[in-house]
Amino acid sequence: MKPHRIRMTHSLIMNYRLYKKMEIYRAKPATKQEMCQFHTDEYIDFLSKVTPDNMEQYSKEQGKYNVGDDCPVFDGLFEFCGISGGGSMEGAARLNRGKCDIAINWAGGLHHAKKSEASGFCYVNDIVLGIIELLRYKQRVLYIDIDVHHGDGVEEAFYTTDRVMTVSFHKYGEYFPGTGELRDIGVGAGKYYAVNFPLRDGITDTTYKEVFEPVIGHVMEFYQPDAVVLQCGADSLSGDRLGCFNLSMAGHANCVEYVKKFNLPTLVVGGGGYTMRNVSRAWTYETGILVNQKVGPNLPFSDFYEYFGPDYELDVRPSNMENLNSKEYLEKIKIQVLSNLERTRHAPSVQTTDVGKGLTEHQEEQDAILDDIDEDGPGMDARQTQRQWDRATEKEGELYSDSEDEEITSSMGVRKTSKKGLRNVRDWKEGGSGTGSGNATPFTGPGGSDNASESAGGNTAKGSGATSKRDGEGRDLTEFDEELEALRKETEEEVQPDNDGDVEMGDDEQPPPSADALTDEVADEEMTDVPAQSSTSSTKVDPIPTAESLSQAKPEAATTDDKIRVEASEFSKAETPAKGSGSGVPKPSESSVANAAPEGSNSMASTTDRHSSKPPLVADESVSSTAKAPANPVEAPAKEEK
């Protein structure tokens, strides 16, 4: 019963863009005087004063008004009661004025509160306050309760009148609040105008529909109400923490859709529900039904998106719990209920009286003042006022631009999406993730495990019960599985770890290149045209360098290609005597090469690391490679003399 579930429902409704199909009315909180139309003055005064800080001073009143155990004291208690009661009363007033056909207040539905007592997390009975406002203009009002608990507070308030018929489908038998027996039919003028249909654990969509539609159909035929108040308690859904029914979201919403078919002024309120993610799902789906807009199955990205894992879908599925409601039992109860309704075949009449000035008339005066303000214009800084934006609705066949209300929608919690369709986090593997989609970018490791699915709590297509893979726009992507698998294997083959264990990275220690590898590399470099590059040094590198030129050269000023040519010349000269040619320029000694190399070795190594993926050529490596040559021109004459 925390207000957080109302915030979650509001976020889903806004991000499904359902607000564009209806007017938003910001109701004022109910005042003490308005609450006292049903509740006692002492009880309302106590609720307005008690806080968690001073609750010890009201220990006696807490026992008197049943506040403290099931109905704890919290900060903002009276403010919450005012918002809940004011929403239902203002919605009823707009129905009286003909400003709307259906009014929705998901913060209402607190059907357990009594005249001077709190009960079952309910402090102020907003339903009774709304019905009282409807009775000022409507002759007969029908109240329907599909909460798993019996609506005892509403039934008790109108137990002796025929102007309100209460119909409740609830769990009965060692279950809170313990009322709602089949024989509770009302007293006095209200006899047979209280209808109770007691049920047992595990009722399913089919069996619930078989008893709900016939009973409500006969009530509409016999009682002929002028308005309907529908309490949509979501604790009758499957998987509720306190409920014991097995209704799916579709089965629960079928009741709303059936009542809507009668085209009567309807006030829809919330109620119980203790699994927050399922409550917000059901109420959002039923809001779509009321505005003739189909929503789902994928959830839009919202402020509370992580609450709806692991499937992230707009659906509440039934479980495999046993249905204890046999056909014989349900048929017996239905026959008795219909028999009692036969006694109300003639709809009661009401004498017309002056109702005086109430909330409906006060609302008309306030709206007239606000209409004058809107006509004056919002000013230079805004295109329209907040009230004009709330009252604007989209109609089919007309074009609208979302850019006109970006600031207002962002303040209302609407998230921007760049995709045409609403996407599900499970679609990242099939359709990929894009900017604004709200999906994490997947990473496929060497072992083929999908880290994104693990972070999403094992959210896979298998867990959702789907037989085919589809993306956010409903396209079948099963045919791409083989292509994706082949691409994954190809990636694994290409990406292999190096000697030090990393992937596509340079080794910590490069092994010295062999003479054959260097010779092949030199041949490749000689075949490549090297573009002319500027050098800050005035020294030019000869095609066949001498020892003096190597000792006087400045390697740090030479480019990488010049250094490679120097090394190539050294190796080509080292191989010449070995092939039998005794002529040529004498090769510089190892000591001269060693003296010339250190100055440019660091420069060459750093340049190679930055600009080339080839192993760096260091002076020490070149010396060792030169020593492995087949013959040395300096030592050759000495061997011939011996």
112 catalytic? Reply is yes
The torsion angles phi and psi of 153, rounded to 5 degrees, stand at -65, -40
Question: Residue 308: is it exposed, middle or buried by C-beta count within 10 angstroms (0-12/13-18/19+)?
Answer: buried
State the Cα–Cα distance between residues 253 and 155, nearest whole angstrom: 23
Contact indicator for 314, 282 with CB cutoff of 8 Å: no
CB atoms within 10 A of CB 402: 11
State the Cα–Cα distance between residues 361 and 59, nearest whole angstrom: 40
Which one of the listed residues 10, 39, 111, 112 is annotated catalytic? 112
Would you mind telling me the total number of residues written for the chain in this entry?
A: 642
Assigned token pair, 357: 């000035």
H/E run at residue 285: helix 276-290
Assigned token pair, 268: 């829809």
Assigned token pair, 94: 């707009």
CB atoms within 10 A of CB 544: 12
State the Cα–Cα distance between residues 273 and 404, nearest whole angstrom: 37
State the Cα–Cα distance between residues 153 and 145, nearest whole angstrom: 11
State the Cα–Cα distance between residues 378 and 407, nearest whole angstrom: 15
State the Cα–Cα distance between residues 619 and 625, nearest whole angstrom: 10
Termini Cα distance of the chain: 107
CB atoms within 10 A of CB 390: 17
Q: Which long-range contacts (CB under 8 A, 24 or more apart) does 376-380 make?
A: none
What are the residues whose beta carbons fall under 8 Å from the beta carbon of 246, sequence distance 6 or more? Answer: 202, 203, 204, 238, 318, 319, 321, 323
- Annotated catalytic sites, by residue? 112
